[in-house]
Structure 1
Amino acid sequence: MKEKEIICECGHVNPYGTEVCGSCGKPLVKNDSNELLNMRYEGAARRSQTYNKSIIDKVWNFFSSVKVGITIIVVILIASALGTIFPQELFIPPGQDAATYYAEEHGWAGELYYTLGFHNLYGSWWYMLLITALGISILIASIDRFFPLYKALKNQRVTRHEKFMSRQRIFGRSTVSDQDETMNKAVSLLRKKRYKIFEENGNVLAEKARWARWGPYVNHIGLIIFLVGAMLRFFPGMYVDANMWVREGETVPVPGTSQDYYLENLQFDVELYDEDDERFQGAMQAAPGAEHIETFRTHSILYMPTDESTVGAGRELEAISEQEIEVNSPLYFDNYSVYQLDYKLNELSAMSFDVEDRETGESAGSFTVDLNNPEDYYTLDNGEEVYIYDYFANFIINDAGEPTTENNVPDNPAFIFEMTNEDGEEELTFIRIQRNFEIRDDEDDPHQYAFTFAGIDTNHVTGLKVRKDLTLPFLIAGGSIFLLGLLQGSYWPHRRVWLQRENDGEILIAAHTNKNWESIKKEIRSVTDQTELSEPVDQTDEEYEKEYKEKDNL
């Protein structure tokens, strides 16, 4: 519902909440007061001051408040600071389970950190909600102020009410012998100072750098674009920052591509500096015994599926490029970049075991377990089968005293094998590196089948970083626009000087600027020194001037 409009004595109809008439400039609030006019937004009414009845009005008024915007910013800053106490989940070691990592690395504080969801803070729904609320606040606050200010500045009149003139911060009244000569000379001097001159009925408005008033709004546009870019990072396909570990001879889907691309690690190489090269002798002597790595690279093949309808590891793949991925020489494709990030040499890949039949003293056979993809059972030479009862890729004992695995990387593999003896009884044997014991109830009754460790196979593993960032243009554009608005609003003040004829040979002079008052007073002084105009006065004392600067910094 619209509030009652205000009709000025000049006949102009002003919206409710207007403090200064949009036509003649007469003050509509505290008309009998000598208090300086509030020139913020030229005294024009804002929507938040005009409507306050419906739910939409109340939501609009809430988000248009500067206090609300500052509160949201403070909450975001506090939340962002909390997100830096411990590493985000993205930066914990690959393969680690977040639920156990934070508790083991950071104790009860880490466990609480994980429970409250701060381990994935910047992608959480409530953090995104805060960012959205900030964007809405900036947008509504800008619209609420932009259009009234735009209309007031675009339609401002040259001839102003005497009360408008006298209640400006800089105001003076001069009696001159020739109004025309004085006005013409003052206009000429103001033009030399690059003021744009508007004349009406012999009165003058000199103005320059009006465009500087839009600096804060340009800031807001840039900030909104930047926030949109930041939020787009959490939309599928817009941003990828993932690690992938690929063993030699292995072909895996490239993360973030929805299995549209696969990468094969044909071979991984590490190249060391030449120990006989004199250029590197100093560095080698400073760190004796260390590996002096010059570079490391992955000889890779990039594939795409030939049949889009097929899903899973059985897809038919077509090689589209073959390239060496090296430090500072990434693989580029379809807005993706694959960087050489890390490596692991001689990772365990397979373990071999021999099985002996104690009753006959003969070998029952041998088998080899692929540590990254073990089978459920293996058939020996004598026809017996070995079942993998349990497998721990990286064996540890948890706090409850139970065997478990820290992750799926085979750094410390352990097995529980099961076989059935000739009596139909199940025999369980626990085997890990340098450990082998039988799980049985009777210590004096050994198992029929004995397992022994036969050997291991290793391979190299390459660590790659997959990056895709379609939000970067938004971030660059938003940041650039923000800096442009900051420059626009900080270094160019909007200045206006009014010269108005009165009866009896008087000329009123008033001036306003949104910043740097001393500079505009200096410009006016250079005009009054060369004309009959008296120098206007600054109508503020020191205490009021300090308060005015804080409130009137547009």
Structure 2
Amino acid sequence: MPVEKTSPALMARLGGGIKHYFRRELLPLLADLRLAIALLLAIALLSIAGTVIEQGQTLAFYQANYPEDPALFGFLTWKVLLGIGLDHVYRTWWFLSLLILFGASLTACTFTRQITALRWFSRTWNFYTKPRQFTKLALSSELPGGSLSALIPLLEKRRYRIFQRDNALYAHKGLVGRIGPIVVHASMLLILLGAILGAMTGFFAQEMVPSGETFQIRNIFDAGPWAAAQIPKDWSVRVNRFWIDYTPEGGINQFYSDLSVLDQAGEEVKNKTIFVNQPLRYQNVTLYQADWSIAAVKVQLNNSPVLEFPMGQLDTGGAGRLWGTWVPTRPDLSDGISLIAKDLQGTLLVYNNDGQLVSTVRKGMSVEVNGVTLAVVDLIGSTGLQIKADPGIPLVYTGFGLLMLGVLMSYVSHAQIWALETEVGQLFVGGRTNRAQVTFERELIGILDQLAQPELATSHEDRKLSASASGSNP
């Protein structure tokens, strides 16, 4: 069968139709302020949901906290929550789609309104050469006998930037007020780009590491689809020491971890002691001090070698944190004792097999129990680390900095003044501003008054200079 070929003319018409649809239909829709506000509200509501609902937890956690009967709010169960991705809101396809759509809306608004307004402004540098052009301005006046030579010093005094061509004049000040909205839009685009980059390439991990152990980041529970490149494989971390500072009342004041980053040869490349709000950063990965635990207890029975027994956290029903282990006191394991600890201060409770408290012992001390001498050599703590990599953070921080700068710039009033001196000795003056209209009107009226009565203006300036020189009030 012969193959039908598409003619170049048809392809050109199709391309022109798509271009026309994009310019006339799609671009105005994306630049619509109502769409941007709706997208922003949707993103805010979903962000609130991602803050309220615990992110990245286990299936058992969601089953326990969001049961099917009774369902939260009558519909929110663990099946619904996991089904629509509310357990990882910021990495779902629909949340990222909202961010991309909002970014497209901001981009469309920037190019169709802000950039267009800036181009229009560049065209306003064309001098007004005909008196009828001043009728378009909201504030304008005609002064018989006025001149540009009298107007220029008055504008210079008020810090206007002046451009003159023949008998026409253009002056403006506060240009940053026109650029501010563009900076705000650009900053929001940077923030969105950083958020999308972090969601796609970042990861979040947790590690519980005993003091003295070396680990590589493995326990990753939340990661973007392109996060593999961010997970370190050529370096590890050693927990040199973990300790807790306690208050005089026995409460926790602060807990610390002395960490060393090791290269593949085991050589230390960075060392830092971290604590809450003082993390360790290395190659775009940040390690935060987040939790702690008791890993093991070292004991000696009579003259035996030092033995290490792991300690596990006990279920207290929310009554507090306790760790315990069982230590045999006979070679055939027919009898033993339980050791219970609540912190790393070194005090342990000793229970027999019947669950009765028989003694207490502190680190570095010993006690007689079940016919043996039990000496507690050490309690080994574990540091709980939260590990995060988010390549989008620099973009987000830069965006927020630009956002604050753009907002401040937007508050600056941009004022423009045009003037035309005719051959018959008439001076046309007019102007406009984008904000602070009343202040601008007062300023322009003051300029016009001085132009209308130059001798009074000169006398007034002389009086001010004389008073300033004599130190008295004018």
State the Cα RMSD in Å.
4.3
Q: 1 CA distance for matches of 2:106 and 2:89?
A: 23
Offset at 1:512? 0.7
**Quick check: 1:100 aligned with 2:63?**
yes
**Quick check: 1:515 aligned with 2:435?**
yes
The Cα offsets for residues 224-249 of structure 1, whole Å up to 9 and x where unpaired, read as 1222222221233xx44432112456
Q: Aligned match of 1:478 in 376, 395, 399?
A: 399
Q: 2 CA distance for matches of 1:108 and 1:332?
A: 42
Q: 2 CA distance for matches of 1:198 and 1:321?
A: 60
Offset at 1:162? 4.5
Opposite residue 337 of structure 1, the aligned amino acid is: T
Opposite residue 517 of structure 1, the aligned amino acid is: Q
Opposite residue 84 of structure 1, the aligned amino acid is: T
Alignment-derived partner of residue 221 in structure 1? 186
Alignment-derived partner of residue 205 in structure 2? 242
Q: Aligned match of 2:177 in 185, 200, 212?
A: 212
Q: 2 CA distance for matches of 1:57 and 1:528?
A: 45
Ranges in structure 2 where 5+ consecutive residues have no aligned partner: 1-17, 219-229, 299-308, 316-322, 327-352, 355-378, 455-474
Alignment-derived partner of residue 289 in structure 2? 340
- Residues 297 and 324 of structure 1 are in contact (CA less than 8 Å); yes or no, is this contact kept in structure 2? no
Within 5 Å, which residues of 2 pair with 1:34-433?
53-55=20-22, 57-89=24-56, 92=57, 97-104=60-67, 108-109=71-72, 110-111=76-77, 112-156=80-124, 157-174=126-143, 176=144, 178-179=145-146, 182-236=147-201, 239-247=202-210, 251-255=214-218, 257-265=231-239, 268-272=242-246, 280=248, 284=249, 291-298=250-257, 302-305=261-264, 318-320=266-268, 325-327=273-275, 330-345=279-294
Alignment-derived partner of residue 526 in structure 1? 446
- Residues 205 and 388 of structure 2 are in contact (CA less than 8 Å); yes or no, is this contact kept in structure 1? yes
Q: 1 CA distance for matches of 2:131 and 2:68?
A: 73
Aligned residues: percent identity? 18
Q: 2 CA distance for matches of 1:183 and 1:326?
A: 68
Aligned to 1:206, what secondary structure does the other structure show? strand
- Residues 210 and 239 of structure 2 are in contact (CA less than 8 Å); yes or no, is this contact kept in structure 1? yes
Q: 1 CA distance for matches of 2:280 and 2:426?
A: 78
Offset at 1:268? 4.3
The Cα offsets for residues 515-535 of structure 1, whole Å up to 9 and x where unpaired, read as 11111111122222222289x
After TM superposition, what 4+ stretches of structure 1 lie above 6 angstroms from structure 2?
Answer: 369-372, 410-413
Q: Which has the higher helix share?
A: 2
Opposite residue 80 of structure 1, the aligned amino acid is: S
Alignment-derived partner of residue 277 in structure 1? none
Q: 1:304 to 1:186 in 2, by over 3 A?
A: closer
Max radius of gyration: which structure? 1
TM-score normalized with structure 1 length? 0.55
Q: 1 CA distance for matches of 2:274 and 2:162?
A: 64
Q: 2 CA distance for matches of 1:54 and 1:330?
A: 52
Q: 1:106 to 1:512 in 2, by over 3 A?
A: farther
Offset at 1:68? 2.3
Opposite residue 218 of structure 1, the aligned amino acid is: V
Q: 2 CA distance for matches of 1:106 and 1:460?
A: 40
Offset at 1:150? 3.4
Offset at 1:154? 2.4
TM-score normalized with structure 2 length? 0.63
Ranges in structure 1 where 5+ consecutive residues have no aligned partner: 1-50, 274-279, 285-290, 307-317, 350-368, 373-392, 396-409, 414-433, 436-457, 535-554
Q: 1:216 to 1:103 in 2, by over 3 A?
A: same
- Residues 343 and 461 of structure 1 are in contact (CA less than 8 Å); yes or no, is this contact kept in structure 2? yes
The Cα offsets for residues 22-56 of structure 1, whole Å up to 9 and x where unpaired, read as xxxxxxxxxxxxxxxxxxxxxxxxxxxxx972346
Q: 2 CA distance for matches of 1:496 and 1:271?
A: 64
Q: 2 CA distance for matches of 1:107 and 1:161?
A: 78
Aligned to 1:234, what secondary structure does the other structure show? helix
Q: 2 CA distance for matches of 1:527 and 1:295?
A: 66
The Cα offsets for residues 410-447 of structure 1, whole Å up to 9 and x where unpaired, read as 9999xxxxxxxxxxxxxxxxxxxx99xxxxxxxxxxxx
Q: 1 CA distance for matches of 2:69 and 2:139?
A: 62
The Cα offsets for residues 454-494 of structure 1, whole Å up to 9 and x where unpaired, read as xxxx964321122444433222221222222211121x211
Q: 1 CA distance for matches of 2:446 and 2:22?
A: 54
Q: 2 CA distance for matches of 1:160 and 1:148?
A: 24
Q: 1:172 to 1:330 in 2, by over 3 A?
A: closer
Alignment-derived partner of residue 419 in structure 2? 499
Q: 2 CA distance for matches of 1:127 and 1:340?
A: 30
